[in-house]
Structure 1
C-alpha cells in the first residue's frame, strides 16, 4: 500500500534530507587516496549521532554498518572495510538518515584523487540519468515515465542499467511501496500522486548489466568486472513538481 505524506510530514523528511545532504558534502572532502571505507563509515555514523539522528541502515536485516560503500566494480551494498582507497578509484556511498522517526535516503558516487576520463564520463552520465528520471516525477505521470527517461538516456550514452536494484517509497520505513524501476515504457505503471515520496537511484555499468554476489552475502558486483556508479535522491511528488529532499548545496 502506498502511503501518501502530508506537507508537514514531507517537511520532516526534508529535515532528514538536509542533514543527509550536508553529510555528503562533508564526505566529498574526505574521499581521498589513503582513507578506508570503514573510516568513512565511522565518520558518517558520528556525524549523524552528533546531530541527533541515526543511520537507519545499521541493524536493518542484520546489516552492521551505517553506510554501504561500493568501490569500482561493486554495484551496491558494499561492506565498509579497512582496504585503503587508491588514486583513480570510484566509490559510491549510500546511507539512510533517521531524524525524529522520518527517513531520507541518498547515494552518491565520488572519484578518488584523479580519475580516468572513462570513469568521469560514467559518473557524469549516471548523475544526469538520475535527474532525467526526477524530471518525470510529476503528478499524473506514471512510474514507467521515470524508468523510460533513465533507460533511454543511459543506453543512448552507451551504458547498461542494473535491473535487480530499484527505487522505492520511503517514509517512516526504509522500503515502502511503490517499487521504482529504472527501466520502463512511457505511460505504464502506477500513477504518481501528490504526497508520494520515493527514491530514484539508477545504477549504470560500463559493461553488461548483469551482476553476481560476493561471498559476504551483501555486496553485488558487475558480472564482467566493469565499472559501476550510482546516484540517488529522495523525491517528494507535489502539485508544484518534484521536490528533491536530499539535494546538495
Structure 2
C-alpha cells in the first residue's frame, strides 16, 4: 500500500521501485528476488497488459495506467510475497471492476482454505469466478508456497485439474495470485 500511496503520474517505475526498496529497508527486510536471484529491482512493477514480473525501468507512469506491484521480501530467513493492482486516475470503470473482481475472487479463495481441501479446488474457484465475470485466467501464472525460498511447492494452477489429488495441510503457507 505504501507504493500505491506514493505512485504518481509522470514518475518512472524505477523511482517507484526505489521507494519500495527504502520501505523494505526501513522495516529490516530486503528484496528476496534481488538478494536470491540478482533481480534488477526491489519489486516487480507491471503496467497495463504486462501480466506480472515487470522490471522497473525509466518507463513513466501515465494517467489511467493499471499498475501491478509485486513485492517479495526476505527477513530473518523467511519470505513474504504480496501483490496489489491499482489504477491511476482518471479511472476506467472496466479496470476498476477488474481490480475489485479479482480482489473479491482472491478473498473467496482465501475463505475456502482449510486443512483437507484439495488444492485443485483453488484452481476451480479461480476459473469459475473468472468465467462468471467474463474474464480469463492466465494459465502459467500459478499460486505457490512460500517460506524459506521465493517459490516453494506446492505450485497451484489457476484452473481446475481433475488429476491433481494433493490436499492442503495445516501449516502450509501459500501465495494466491489474483491477476
TM-score for the superposition, normalised by structure 2:
0.94
Give yes or no for the alignment of 1:143 onto 2:119: yes
Query: Tell me, which stretches of 5 or more residues in structure 2 are unaligned?
Result: none
Q: Aligned equivalents of 1:109 and 1:60: distance in 2?
A: 24
Candidates 24, 27, 31, aligned match of 2:3: 27
What residue in structure 2 maps to residue 191 of structure 1?
167
CA deviation string 1:100-135 (max 9, x = no partner):
111110011011122211111111111112112212
What residue in structure 1 maps to residue 66 of structure 2?
90
- Matched-pair contact (CA < 8 Å) for 1:142–1:187: no
Higher strand share: 1
CA deviation string 1:12-48 (max 9, x = no partner):
xxxxxxxxxxxxx222211221221111100111111
Pairwise CA distance, 1:186: 7.2
What residue in structure 1 maps to residue 46 of structure 2?
70
Give yes or no for the alignment of 1:161 onto 2:137: yes
Query: Taking CA–CA contacts closer than 8 Å with sequence separation of 6 or more, which of the two structures ends up with the larger relative contact order?
Result: 1
What residue in structure 1 maps to residue 99 of structure 2?
123
CA-atom RMSD, angstroms?
1.6
Give yes or no for the alignment of 1:106 onto 2:76: no
CA deviation string 1:30-70 (max 9, x = no partner):
12212211111001111111221111011443421111110
TM-score for the superposition, normalised by structure 1:
0.68
Q: For this pair of structures, how many residues does the alignment match?
A: 179
